Amino acid sequence: MSQKLSHHDHNGRTHSKDNHERKIACTPTIGDYALLGDILMERLLGYETMPCPPLTKRTLELGAQNSPDMICTPFKITLGNHIEAAQAGANVFIMPGAGCRLGFYDILQKQILDDLGYPNDIISLFDYIPTTKRLFTAMQERNPELTQQQFDEVFALIIQITVDMDGLADYLRHNRAFELEAGQFESNYQAYLSEVKLAQTAGEAADIGKKYDKLLRAIPVDKPQRPIRIGILGEIYVVVEPFSNANLEQWLMDRAVEIDRPFDLTRMAIGIFNNEQQIAESGGYVNYNIGSTANDVIAQTHRMMKEGVDGVIHIKPASCSPEITAMTILQNMSQDFGIPVMYLTFDTETGEAGVHTRLEAFLDMITMKRQSADRAA
C-alpha cells in the first residue's frame, strides 16, 4: 500500500494537530533574500522567524547525506538548511516553488523531513504557474483572518524591497571593484538591508531605497574607461547564493573586475512572463522555450557579447538540465563572437581552491587578450 504524502491537501497545506503550537519559521539562505520570507511570515501569519543557521560545510554534508544522488545541488543545500534550522527549533520552512525541479523540492523535502522525524510545515509560495492569488491562498490557509488588503500591502512592500535591493546590488557589482576606500559599498549595502527590514510600508521602503541609492552613488570610485568586464549567468540559485559558487563575484571584484550579472529575483519575476521577448532577443540562436532561465541566459549573453564583454562565466548546479541545453548554444555564440565562455558546475563537493585556480586562469587569459588587442590597435 502506498500512503499518500502526509497531510497535504490540495493546496499543499499541512494540517497541524495542534493549532496553537508555537510556529517558528525559517527561510533558507538564498543570497540576501531570506529577509523577504521573514516579512511574509511575521506580517502575514504572525509567526516567529528564525535566521537560518549560516551555510557551512556541515550544511552541505547534511543536505547531501539525506538527498537523492541525482538531484540538483540547490535541493541538497536547502534541505541542509531545513535540517539545521529544525535542529535549532524551527518548524515552518519556506520554499519558493514554481517551475523546473524547484517546483517539487518541497514535496520531497517534506517527505524527507517527515522520515527524519522533524515536525514541519513547508510552505511552497507558488505553484508551477506563479500567481499572487496562489501566494495569497497559501497564506490565508494558515491565517484565516488574513484579508486581501493586508496581503496586498505586504506584497507591495516585498516587491519594493526586492526591486530596490536588486538595483543597489547591481550598481555595487558594476562599481565595487573600483572603490577608493575598501569596504564602503558593502557596508552601505548591509546598512540598507538592516534598515529596510524594519520598513512598514512600501512607501517607507522606497524612501530607504532612495536614500541608499544616493549614498552608494556618492561613494568615490576610480573606474577606468574600459575596465575588464565579465558577465556572470546561469542557474539562479548558484548565481545569487555566494556560498554555493565559491564566492566568485567577490573574488573577481577583489581583482578589479566589473561584474555584469543581470540575474536576480526581480529579473526572475519579470522573466517568467517574458519568455517570448527573451527568445526574440536571443539573436536567432533559439526558437522556443528551452526551460527555466536558460532562454534568458541566451538573451543576456547575446546582449553582453554585442556590447563587447571580455568574458562570460556560466555557472550551474550539477545536472541542471535547462542550463545544459544552454551550454550547447553558448558554445556556438562564443565561437561566433570570439568571446570566451567558462563553464563551472557546482555541487556539494566542489572545492574553492579549484574554482579559484580556474578563475585566475580565465582572468589572466582575458587580460592578456585585451593587452594584445590594445597593442595591435
Partner 1 sequence: MKKAYLGVDIGSISTKGVVIDENNQVLASSYLWTQGNPIDAVKRVVGELDQTMNGAGAGGLAGQYTIVNSGTTGSARKLIGLVLGSRVVKNEITAHAVGTLSVVPDVQTILEIGGQDSKIILINNGVVMDYAMNTICAAGTGSFLSSQAKRLDLELEDFAALALRSENPAKIAARCTVFAESDLVHKAQIGHSKEDIVAGLCRAVVLNYLNNVGKGKQIKGPVVFQGGMSKNAAVVKEFERELGLPVHVDPHGHLMGALGVAVLCKNEVQESAFDFNITNLEFETRGLECAGCPNSCEMICVYREGQLLDAWGNKCDIGASLTSAQAA
Partner 2 sequence: MKIGIPRALLFYFYEDLWLGFFDNLGIETIVSPPSNSAIAKAGIAHSIDEACYSSKLFIGHVQWLLDSCDMVFVPRYADSGIREEYCTRIFGLYDLVRNTFPEAKVLHAEVSFLHRKKESEAFVQIGEALGFTREESLKAYKDAAATAQARKGERIAAQEELLKADGMKILLASHAYNSYDAVIGAEIIDYFERNEVKVIHSDLINTREAKKRAKDSYSDRIYWRVSSDMIGGIDKYKDQADGIVMISTFPCGPDSLFAELVIRLVKDVPVLSLVIDEHDATAGIQTRLESFIDIIEAKKKAKSLLEVEVAA
Interface residue list for partner 2 (CB under 8 A): 1-5, 8, 10, 12, 68-72, 100-101, 103-104, 107-108, 111-112, 115, 127-128, 285-292, 294, 318-319, 321-322, 324-325, 327-329, 332, 345
Instruction: Return the one option of partner 1, partner 2, none that residue 227 interacts with (CB less than 5 to 8 A, by type).
Output: none
Considering the complex, state which of residue 124 and residue 348 has its C-beta at the smaller distance from partner 1.
348
147 Cβ contact partners less than 8 Å away, ≥ 6 residues apart? none
Q: Residue 106 and residue 104: Cα distance in Å, rounded?
A: 6
Task: Find the shortest distance in angstroms from Cβ 126 to partner 1.
Answer: 31
86 vs 290 by CB, closer to partner 2: 290
d(CA 34, CA 36): 5
Q: How many residues does the chain have?
A: 377
SS3 category, 314? strand
- 342: its cell numbers: 567558462
For residue 365, the minimal CB distance to partner 1 (Å) is: 4
**Binds 301: which of partner 2, partner 1, none (CB < 5-8 Å by kind):** none
To the nearest whole angstrom, how small is the minimum distance from the Cβ of residue 49 to partner 2?
Answer: 26
How far is the first Cα of the chain from the last one, in angstroms, to the nearest whole number?
74
Residue 239 CB, nearest distance to partner 2 (Å)? 18
Q: Count of alpha carbons within 13 Å of 227, Cβ hemisphere only?
A: 21
Neighbours of 149 (CB within 10 A): 8
Residues that bind partner 1 (CB under 8 A): 54, 56-59, 327-328, 331, 334-335, 338, 340, 342-345, 357-358, 360-362, 364-365, 368-369, 372
**Strands of 194-261, DSSP E:** 228-234, 257-260
* Minimal distance, residue 348 CB to partner 1, in Å: 13
Task: Say how far apart CA 272 and CA 280 lie, in whole Å.
Answer: 15
Residues linked to residue 312 through DSSP beta bridges, in sequence order: 231, 341
In angstroms, what is the minimal distance from the CB of 223 to partner 1?
24
Q: Which listed option, partner 2, partner 1, none, makes contact with residue 286 (CB within 5 to 8 Å by class)?
A: partner 2
Residue 364 interacts with which of partner 1, partner 2, none, CB < 5 to 8 Å by class: partner 1
Q: Quote the CA–CA distance of 26 and 182 in Å, as a whole number.
A: 33
Q: Residue 246: which of 113, 62, 254 has the closest Cα? A: 254
State residue 263 phi and psi, 5-degree precision: -85, 125
User: Which of 125, 253 has the CB closer to partner 2?
Assistant: 125
**By C-beta, is 155 or 343 nearer to partner 1?**
343
Q: Which does 348 bind (CB under 5 to 8 A by kind): partner 2, partner 1, none?
A: none
To partner 2, the closest distance from the beta carbon of 201 in angstroms equals: 34
Distance CA 211, CA 131 (A): 31
Task: Kindly tell me which of 50 and 327 has the beta carbon lying closer to partner 1.
Answer: 327
Closer CB to partner 2, 146 or 290, in the complex: 290
Cβ pair 122, 113 in contact under 8 A: yes
148 binds, among partner 2, partner 1, none (CB under 5 to 8 A by kind): none
In the complex with partner 1, the residue whose CB is nearer, 274 or 319, is 319
Could you say which of partner 2, partner 1, none residue 58 binds, taking C-beta under 5 to 8 angstroms by partner kind?
partner 1
Closest CB to partner 2 among 253 and 327? 327
Report the alpha-carbon distance of residue 243 to residue 71 in Å, rounded: 19
Please state the closest distance from residue 294 (CB atom) to partner 2, in A: 7
Instruction: Tell me which residue of 291, 289, 339 sits closest to 314, measured CA to CA.
Output: 339
The residue among 7 and 358 lying less far from partner 1, judged by its C-beta, is: 358
Upper half-sphere CA count for residue 287 (Cβ side, 13 Å): 0
Burial class of 371 by CB neighbour count within 10 A (0 to 12, 13 to 18, 19+)? exposed
Residue 144 CB, nearest approach to partner 2 (Å): 21
